[in-house]
Amino acid sequence: MRLEPCITVGILLLVSAATAEPPPARPSTSGADTRMERVDGIGGFFFRSKSPKILAKWYADHLGITLTPSDYGQQPWRQAAGPTVFQPFRADTKYFGRAEQMFMLNFRVTNLDAMVAQLRQAGIGVEVDPQTYPNGRFALAHDPEGNPIQLWQPKS
């Protein structure tokens, strides 16, 4: 299977949220200067699982994603600031594997080789794409329920 990173990543204009200029004003029919309200990022990712507690623990143990807090005094997983691609694919894409697969997670990593070694040492199969793309390197793994997980080391 050849991994094909989302081409959108390579053509996005990526800017830091701290330095990004606000979006241009949208024309208003009333003549008032209005700006479009935008989301800040992904606040959660929710999906069905046959064994939610077991799968959540797998993600915590192997990828370091903190379990969802059991009360408001605890902190949820915090991700590092960086580029995020939001890209719907055609319903008949083969990119995610199984035809019934509705999503694929893509996680940014600092050191792809170290992450791949860590996963393989735990007995998790990982396929590293031998090609380096203009936007970085990629690998593909699957969680215990067969959900595809793409690992991405952005080009520095």
pTM comes to 0.74
Q: Where do the H-state alpha helices sit in 26-102?
A: 52-63
Percent of the chain with pLDDT over 70: 79
Amino acid found at 87: Q
Q: Average pLDDT of 88-107?
A: 91
Choose the weakest-confidence range: 3-7, 14-18, 42-46.
14-18
Q: Flag whether pLDDT at 14 surpasses 50.
A: no
List of long-range contacts for 51-54, beta carbons under 8 Å, 24+ apart: 51/145, 54/144
Confidence at residue 33, expressed as pLDDT on a 0 to 100 scale: 63
Per the CB < 8 A criterion, the answer to whether 35 and 26 are in contact is yes
Per the CB < 8 A criterion, the answer to whether 117 and 133 are in contact is no
Quote the CA–CA distance of 81 and 56 in Å, as a whole number: 22
Which residue would you say has higher pLDDT here, 26 or 73? Answer: 73
Which residue would you say has higher pLDDT here, 43 or 24? Answer: 43
Per the CB < 8 A criterion, the answer to whether 156 and 137 are in contact is no
Rounded to whole angstroms, what are the CA distances from 73 to 53, 64, 141?
20, 20, 33
Give the tens place of pLDDT for each residue, 43-82.
899 999 999 999 999 999 999 999 999 999 999 999 999 9
